A and B are shown apart, each in its own frame.
Chain A
Amino acid sequence: MAGLLDGLPPDALSFVYLVAAVLFIVGLRRLTHPRTAARGNLISASGMALAVGVTVLWFEILSPLVLGAALLVGAGIGTWLALSVETTDMPQLVGLFNGFGGGASALVAGAELVDQVGTAGVADLTLTATGAAAVTGLIGAVTFCGSLVAAGKLHGIYDRPIHYPVENAVKVGIAGVAVLVGLALLTQPALGLLPMGELVAPYWALLVVASLLGVLVVVPIGGADMPVVIALLNAGSGLAAASTGFVLNNSVLIVAGTLVGASGLILTRIMCRSMNRSLANVLFGGYGRSETAD
Chain B
Amino acid sequence: MAFIENLTLFVLAGFLGYELVTKIPATLHTPLISGTNAISGITLIGSVVVAGSGNSTLASVLGFFAVVLATINVVGGYLVSHKMLRSFGRRGGE
Q: Which residues of A contact B (CB under 8 A)?
A: 24-25, 27-29, 31-35, 37-38, 40-42, 44-45, 48, 51-52, 55-56, 59-64, 66-67, 70-71, 73-75, 77-79, 81-83, 85, 87, 90-91, 93-94, 97-98, 100-105, 107-108, 110-112, 114-115, 118-119, 128, 198-199, 227, 230-231, 234, 237-238, 240-242, 244-267, 270-271, 274
How many residues of B are counted as interface, with CB atoms below 8 angstroms from the partner's CB atoms? 82
Query: Are A238 and B47 in contact (CB-based, < 8 A)?
Result: no
B residues within 8 A CB of A259?
13, 16-17, 20, 36, 39
Query: Are A257 and B52 in contact (CB-based, < 8 A)?
Result: no
* The 6 A-B residue pairs with the shortest CB-CB distance in the complex, in nearest-first order: A74-B71, A262-B17, A62-B54, A78-B76, A78-B75, A82-B79
Indicate which residue in B24, B59, B67, B72 contacts A97 across the interface (CB closer than 8 Å).
B72
Q: How far is the CB of B37 from chain A (nearest CB, A)?
A: 5
Query: Are B78 and A41 in contact (CB-based, < 8 A)?
Result: yes
Bound-complex Cα distance A290 to B73 (A): 37
24 A-B pairs (CB sep. < 8 Å): A37-B85, A38-B82, A38-B89, A44-B39, A48-B78, A63-B51, A98-B37, A101-B73, A104-B66, A104-B67, A104-B69, A105-B66, A111-B59, A119-B56, A198-B56, A199-B58, A230-B33, A231-B29, A249-B6, A251-B9, A253-B43, A258-B17, A263-B18, A265-B18
Query: Are A264 and B36 in contact (CB-based, < 8 A)?
Result: yes
Bound-complex Cα distance A203 to B80 (A): 33
Q: How far is the CB of A192 from chain B (nearest CB, A)?
A: 16
Q: Which residue of B lies closest to A63 (CB)?
A: B54
A residues within 8 A CB of B47?
104, 107-108
Q: Which residue of B lies closest to A259 (CB)?
A: B17
Bound-complex Cα distance A29 to B93 (A): 16
Query: Are A28 and B39 in contact (CB-based, < 8 A)?
Result: yes
Query: Are B28 and A37 in contact (CB-based, < 8 A)?
Result: yes
